[in-house]
């Protein structure tokens, strides 16, 4: 889609009576790029890959038109893109990159290095299936393949969240109790390329919210030090223990970040989003846009089937917010996980984490893999038929 057509469609939508006053109409990719602009990051580096490309295209335009005063570094690969912003972050710059799917796998070495170096880089991932076969549509296996790398992961379900969670990602990552990189996930195409209303935050207010970046171990010419040196077992153990301690502090830091964000904008977020869970006997669990269909399904289950259903959606996924999640699920008799990430031999990745958090059988359903369409009617059927304790697949004829 050309920029001229996208701009024309946005202008028409913004003039609609259904659009809130002061809101802009943007795609998920546009929302992330707008957040990067409004934050005023210092260094951006990325390599194009579908469905992420429009994020960095928009950022490049902001830089070209002086809407963003940043160094935009064009590189030959995703590996180099993350290496570039890692180095810039080491020099105390506020940095950003974006990728998807195979690009994230190509980055994988630097994903682990960035976390191990305790650098608050923020990256957006427009979630896409991993090959083979080649598939450009949505799944969560790309991001969740890096679940244990030390990045703080959040998942957006709409355009406003894609913008807001990008801001919050910097607030969490740069907190001295954390100092770990942040990954903001948005579903490829179903969110990345969907236009919805977006209310932006004034850049001055964002500066107040984030403050100045201060990497404690930044490069200092007056106090030289070594980086990336060889470490023996005792030092290596200590580094990993400190990373684990920092990750354990993330839920509390995230809650503070959400509270401060609500004071700034009036928009309230929590570690897990709940929908009609107070009296739910059946709880549907998932990440991202599929849970929007699940919310409609919960209404249908209540109104047409007499089933008290609700939805629990973690916004913070890594680290998994065990306590908040258990509180949200409550005493529901049946928990059904809509999983878009496979762990071969184990079922679904999200299902495994949910079982670990709840310590009881849940129904894991692999649905929406590779962008396969799943609507609320499908979710109703899944909720009624799924049985706890086994992995099930939703889709067409396996043959």
Q: Considering the domain boundaries, does residue 220 fall inside one?
A: no
CATH of the domain at 337: 3.40.50.920
Residues 12 and 161 in one domain: yes
Q: Considering the domain boundaries, does residue 37 fall inside one?
A: yes
DSSP state letter for 157: S
**Could you report the per-residue pLDDT of 313-345, keeping only the tens digit for each?**
999 999 999 999 999 999 999 999 999 999 999
The pLDDT of residue 5 is above 60: no
Average pLDDT over residues 258-283: 99
The pLDDT of residue 261 is above 70: yes
pTM above 0.85, yes or no: yes
| Cα distances (Å, whole numbers) of residue 233 to 237, 238, 240, 241, 376 | 6, 9, 11, 12, 51
**How much is the pLDDT for 10?**
57
Q: Considering the domain boundaries, does residue 242 fall inside one?
A: no
Residues 36 and 180 in one domain: yes
Using alpha carbons only, give the angle 218, 221, 225 rounded to the nearest 5 degrees: 60
Q: Considering the domain boundaries, does residue 130 fall inside one?
A: yes
Q: Considering the domain boundaries, does residue 293 fall inside one?
A: yes
Residues 152 and 283 in one domain: no
Residues 55 and 187 in one domain: yes
Domain of residue 336, residue span: 272-393
Residues 143 and 72 in one domain: yes
Q: Considering the domain boundaries, does residue 246 fall inside one?
A: no
Neighbours of 202 (CB within 10 A): 11
Q: Considering the domain boundaries, does residue 178 fall inside one?
A: yes
| Cα distances (Å, whole numbers) of residue 15 to 4, 163, 309 | 17, 21, 37
**How much is the pLDDT for 15?**
56
User: What phi, psi does 264 have (nearest 5°)?
Assistant: -80, -40
Contacts with 40 (C-beta within 8 Å, 6 or more apart), sequence order: 68, 69, 70, 94, 203, 206, 207
Average pLDDT over residues 264-291: 99
CATH of the domain at 153: 3.40.50.970
Last residue of a domain, one of 166, 195, 210: 210
Last residue of a domain, one of 165, 186, 210: 210
User: What phi, psi does 210 have (nearest 5°)?
Assistant: -90, -35
Here the contacts of 263-268 (C-beta below 8 Å, separation 24 or greater) are 264/201, 264/205, 264/208, 264/209, 265/164, 265/199, 265/201, 265/205, 267/160, 267/164
The pLDDT of residue 17 is above 70: no
Q: Considering the domain boundaries, does residue 247 fall inside one?
A: no
Residues 36 and 172 in one domain: yes
> How would residue 22 be classed by pLDDT, with cut points 50, 70 and 90?
confident
The pLDDT of residue 166 is above 90: yes
> How would residue 57 be classed by pLDDT, with cut points 50, 70 and 90?
very high
Here the contacts of 57-60 (C-beta below 8 Å, separation 24 or greater) are 57/33, 58/29, 58/30, 58/33, 58/34, 59/33, 59/96
**Could you report the per-residue pLDDT of 182-229, keeping only the tens digit for each?**
999 999 999 999 999 999 999 999 999 999 999 999 999 999 888 888
The pLDDT of residue 158 is above 90: yes
Residues 173 and 69 in one domain: yes
Residues 112 and 204 in one domain: yes
**How much is the pLDDT for 395?**
86
In 3D space, the residue among 89, 125, 92, 129 whose CA is nearest the CA of residue 107 turns out to be: 125
Helix ranges, the chain (H): 3-14, 28-39, 53-64, 78-90, 101-116, 141-144, 159-173, 203-210, 233-265, 290-305, 322-329, 349-358, 376-385
**Could you report the per-residue pLDDT of 113-124, keeping only the tens digit for each?**
999 999 999 999
**How much is the pLDDT for 195?**
98
- Please report which helix (H) or strand (E) contains residue 148, including its range: none
Average pLDDT over residues 67-75: 98
Residues 183 and 319 in one domain: no
Last residue of a domain, one of 210, 229, 246: 210
Residues 292 and 378 in one domain: yes
Task: Return the percentage of the chain with pLDDT > 70, whole number.
Answer: 94
- What crossing angle do the helices spanning 233-265 and 159-173 adopt, rounded to 10°? 130
Average pLDDT over residues 65-77: 98
In 3D space, the residue among 320, 197, 321, 173 whose CA is nearest the CA of residue 267 turns out to be: 197
Query: What's the number of CA atoms in the CB half-sphere (13 Å) around residue 349?
Result: 19
**Could you report the per-residue pLDDT of 86-141, keeping only the tens digit for each?**
999 999 999 999 999 999 999 999 999 999 999 999 999 999 999 999 999 999 99
**How much is the pLDDT for 14?**
61
Residues 158 and 285 in one domain: no
* Nearest-angstrom CA–CA distance, 44 and 57: 11
Query: What's the number of CA atoms in the CB half-sphere (13 Å) around residue 73?
Result: 22
Residues 277 and 196 in one domain: no
- Mean pLDDT of the chain, nearest integer: 95
User: What phi, psi does 228 have (nearest 5°)?
Assistant: 70, 30
Q: How many domains does the chain have?
A: 2
């Amino acid at each position: 889609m050309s920029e001229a057509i996208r701009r024309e469609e946005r202008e028409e939508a913004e003039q609609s009576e259904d659009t809130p006053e002061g809101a802009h109409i943007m795609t998920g990719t546009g929302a992330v790029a707008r957040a990067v602009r409004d934050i005023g990051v210092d260094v951006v580096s990325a390599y194009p890959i579908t469905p992420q490309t429009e994020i960095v295209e928009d950022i490049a335009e902001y830089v070209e038109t002086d809407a963003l005063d940043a160094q935009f570094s064009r590189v030959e690969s995703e590996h180099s893109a993350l290496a570039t912003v890692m180095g810039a972050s080491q020099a105390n710059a506020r940095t950003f990159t974006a990728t998807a799917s195979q690009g994230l796998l190509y980055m994988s070495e630097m994903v682990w290095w960035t976390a191990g170096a305790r650098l608050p880089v923020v990256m957006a991932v427009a979630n896409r299936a991993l090959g083979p076969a080649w598939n450009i549509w949505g799944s969560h296996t790309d991001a969740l393949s890096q679940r244990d790398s030390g990045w703080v992961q959040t998942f957006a379900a709409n355009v406003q969240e894609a913008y807001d969670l990008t801001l919050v990602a910097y607030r969490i990552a740069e907190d001295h109790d954390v100092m770990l990189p942040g990954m903001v996930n948005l579903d490829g195409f179903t969110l990345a390329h969907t236009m919805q209303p977006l209310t932006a935050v004034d850049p001055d207010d964002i500066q107040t919210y984030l403050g100045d970046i201060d990497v404690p171990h930044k490069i200092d010419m007056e106090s030289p030090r070594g980086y990336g040196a060889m470490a023996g077992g005792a030092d290596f153990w200590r580094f990993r223990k400190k990373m684990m301690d920092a990750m354990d502090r993330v839920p509390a830091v995230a809650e503070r970040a959400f509270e401060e964000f609500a004071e700034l904008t009036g928009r309230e977020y929590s570690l897990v989003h709940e929908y009609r869970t107070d009296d739910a006997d059946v709880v549907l669990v998932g990440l991202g846009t599929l849970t929007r269909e699940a919310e409609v399904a919960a209404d249908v289950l209540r109104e047409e089937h007499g089933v008290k259903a609700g939805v629990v959606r973690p916004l913070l996924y890594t680290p998994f917010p065990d306590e908040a999640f258990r509180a949200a699920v409550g005493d529901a008799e049946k928990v059904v996980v809509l999983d878009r990430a496979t762990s071969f031999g184990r079922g679904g990745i999200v299902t495994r984490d949910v079982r670990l958090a709840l310590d009881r059988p849940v129904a894991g359903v692999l649905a929406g893999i590779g962008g396969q369409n799943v609507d609320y009617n499908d979710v109703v059927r899944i909720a009624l038929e799924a049985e706890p304790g086994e992995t099930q697949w939703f889709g067409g004829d396996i043959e």
